[in-house]
Amino acid sequence: MDKAFVEQRLASWTDPNTGLDPVSAHQVRGIGIDGDKVALDIAFGYPMFRQRDALTDSIRQHLEADPAITSAVVTLSARIAAHEVQGELKPHPKIRNIIAVASAKGGVGKSTTAVNLALGLQAQGARVGLLDADIYGPSVPLMLGLTGKPDSKDGHSIEPMLGHGLQCQSIGPMVEQDTAMIWRGPMVTKALQQLINDTNWQELDYLVIDMPPGTGDIQLTLSQKIPVAGAVIVTTPQEIALRDAVRGLNMFKQMSITVLGVVENMSLHVCSNCGHESHLFGSGGGETLAREHGVELISSIPLDVSIRTAIDAGAPTVIAEPDSPQGERYIEMATRVAANLAKRPKNRRIDLPKIVVQSNQTSP
């Protein structure tokens, strides 16, 4: 048995999260062969901590199903790369990927989805930050149970606040509620760039941005200036919200920002008494949107009172009930977002650390 044989066998295993095999996705980091025994080191491009054992077993069983392989030892890890961003923008040195969570109108559950997305990525093992850019209703700190203002150790940079392990920063303290309506795109963009650049982020795999709702001047300027690796659009199944969501899709398309998927929120109602599920706002809208516009419907989140009570109490579903059906749905949504991003090209425009060549010569 040789390496090519093992690779060929491995290439017929498909990753359920990406639909790709580890060989063509260039995820094989090492293959060891000793007679009829093999050892494999594979690094996925997205976090999958909660599924690691199941995925490892699945690959091992697939390999051992070949009569030529008597035993396989599989080591699975995650290596999250920085992926391409729009235009000529460069990624932030401490942030591998920025993911923008957007909705064409307010009240569809964008912030709730953004918070649970960030926590879901973290539950899968990633280092995650959350930036609240919703000037009209900066609610993210409260949703994470955070109060007070962020600290500054040196008077220049701001320390992110820590909420359930997430590094969190909010535009809230910069905006007075009654002046939010007069903020223009360039003002929001400047404030946000300042927050991104002046925050003392500790190495992040993902920074999730909760965008202001809408597709106007603010969102457009943001999309031109912030280096975004991908966007997630949140919508409800109602026709009007969907028509709005198409505007969101078109805006990102125009800005050359990849839409990683659409999340249909409040897609069905779960009765808190009997658990009966009903389509309160109609059904299948997200699917139609996804089909007609070539983007993936990555998740349908039901309207469930437990989602609201958890987030109101400052411990969102992924923290309060990670193993409940809704907790698992959110974590699955986060995994799908990360897996879709992992399929995107890597960013080649990363600044390399400057190498200083030191002379061996001693001065005379």
Under rule CB under 6 A, residue 107 binds ligand ADP: yes
Rounded to the nearest 10 degrees, what angle do helices 185-198 and 217-225 cross at? Answer: 40
Under rule CB under 6 A, residue 103 binds ligand ADP: yes
232 and 337 Cβ atoms separated by less than 8 Å: yes
Per-residue binding string, ligand ADP, 68-97, x by CB under 6 A, is ------------------------------
Q: What is the dihedral of CA 174, 207, 99, 307, to 10 degrees?
A: -80
> Minimum distance between the CB of residue 252 and ligand ADP, rounded to whole angstroms?
17
**Distance, CA of 30 to CA of 21 (rounded, Å):** 15
Under rule CB under 6 A, residue 112 binds ligand ADP: yes
205 and 127 Cβ atoms separated by less than 8 Å: yes
**Distance, CA of 361 to CA of 364 (rounded, Å):** 9
The footprint of ligand ADP on residues 120-159 (CB under 6 A) is 137, 139
19 and 32 Cβ atoms separated by less than 8 Å: no
**Distance, CA of 104 to CA of 248 (rounded, Å):** 6
Among 86, 111, 299, 347, binds ligand ADP (CB under 6 A): 111
The footprint of ligand ADP on residues 188-227 (CB under 6 A) is 213
> Minimum distance between the CB of residue 83 and ligand ADP, rounded to whole angstroms?
25
> Minimum distance between the CB of residue 348 and ligand ADP, rounded to whole angstroms?
34
Place of tokens 């400047």: 190
Stretch that binds ligand ADP, among 11-19, 163-171, 297-305, 350-358 (CB under 6 A): 297-305
Write the single-letter amino acid at 32: G
Under rule CB under 6 A, residue 106 binds ligand ADP: yes
Write the single-letter amino acid at 21: D
Under rule CB under 6 A, residue 166 binds ligand ADP: no
**Of residues 19 and 107, the one with the C-beta less far from ligand ADP:** 107
**Of residues 42 and 315, the one with the C-beta less far from ligand ADP:** 315
**Of residues 275 and 364, the one with the C-beta less far from ligand ADP:** 275
Under rule CB under 6 A, residue 266 binds ligand ADP: yes
Among 303, 318, 338, 339, binds ligand ADP (CB under 6 A): 303
**Of residues 268 and 342, the one with the C-beta less far from ligand ADP:** 268
DSSP 65-132: TSTT-SEEEEEEEE-PPPB--STT----TTEEEEEEEE-SSTTSSHHHHHHHHHHHHHHTT--EEEEE
Under rule CB under 6 A, residue 237 binds ligand ADP: no
Stretch that binds ligand ADP, among 88-96, 108-116, 167-175, 189-197 (CB under 6 A): 108-116
Under rule CB under 6 A, residue 308 binds ligand ADP: yes
**Of residues 106 and 125, the one with the C-beta less far from ligand ADP:** 106
> Minimum distance between the CB of residue 310 and ligand ADP, rounded to whole angstroms?
8
**Distance, CA of 243 to CA of 262 (rounded, Å):** 13
End-to-end CA distance of the chain: 61
Under rule CB under 6 A, residue 18 binds ligand ADP: no
Angstrom CA distances, 57 to 8, 29, 72, 97, 362, stand at 18, 18, 10, 29, 58
132 and 210 Cβ atoms separated by less than 8 Å: yes
SS3 271: coil
**Of residues 49 and 136, the one with the C-beta less far from ligand ADP:** 136
Stretch that binds ligand ADP, among 47-55, 151-159, 286-294, 299-307 (CB under 6 A): 299-307
SS3 186: helix
Q: How many residues bind ligand ADP (CB under 6 A)?
A: 19
Under rule CB under 6 A, residue 108 binds ligand ADP: yes
Q: Report the interface residues with ligand ADP, using CB under 6 A.
A: 103, 106-112, 137, 139, 213, 265-266, 301, 303-304, 307-308, 311
